[in-house]
């Protein structure tokens, strides 16, 4: 029922904008939208508004409570891991870990069900992933 509603809305829309290439591909596949009717606009923060302003006390608290320390990369997860393109994120992290000269920590957040998936598909990365902020 919901998919039929999305399909009808997509059919009426002049153009559809997705927040990632993966979502744009899903829109084309699932809703049958022509390639020329979709665009991706990647999300990004405005550096003039959003900037690091973490205090030393906050960094210390995060390290003590969750084991998070710099440098780190944050990865979002979801109960439906496909919606966050988790496979690609984990593959990218494996490449970055192999090719980077800077050791980094991966911090994941999201629902607990995704934690099992991450540990199952990426045992090599599981050693380096801090599973934090699970809901």
Query: Which range marks the domain in which residue 93 is found?
Result: 56-134
Whose tokens are 């902020």? That residue is: 133
Q: Identify whether 45 is part of a domain.
A: no
> Distance between CA atoms of 132 and 135, rounded to whole angstroms?
9
Largest CA distance in the chain: 52
Whether 67 and 116 share a structural domain? yes
pLDDT value of residue 81: 60
Question: Could you read off the pLDDT of 89-103 as tens digits, one per residue?
Answer: 778 888 888 888 988
pLDDT value of residue 15: 95
Question: Could you read off the pLDDT of 41-62 as tens digits, one per residue?
Answer: 877 777 777 767 778 888 888 8
With contact defined as beta carbons under 8 Å apart, do 13 and 79 qualify?
A: no
Whether 62 and 34 share a structural domain? no
With contact defined as beta carbons under 8 Å apart, do 77 and 118 qualify?
A: yes
Q: With a cut of 70, list the residues of the chain below it in pLDDT.
A: 1-2, 51, 79-84, 115, 119-135
pTM: 0.56
Whether 128 and 64 share a structural domain? yes
């Amino acid at each position: 029922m919901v998919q039929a509603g999305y399909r009808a809305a997509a059919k009426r829309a002049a153009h559809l904008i997705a927040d990632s290439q993966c979502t744009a591909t899903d829109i084309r596949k699932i809703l049958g939208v022509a390639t020329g009717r979709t665009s991706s606009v990647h999300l990004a923060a405005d550096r003039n508004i959003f900037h690091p302003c973490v205090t030393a006390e906050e960094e210390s608290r995060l390290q003590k409570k969750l084991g998070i320390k710099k440098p780190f990369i944050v990865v979002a997860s979801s109960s439906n891991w496909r919606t966050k393109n988790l496979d690609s994120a984990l593959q990218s992290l494996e490449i970055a870990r192999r090719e980077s000269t800077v050791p980094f920590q991966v911090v994941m957040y999201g629902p607990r069900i995704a934690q099992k998936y991450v540990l199952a598909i990426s045992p090599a990365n599981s050693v380096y992933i801090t599973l934090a902020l699970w809901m």
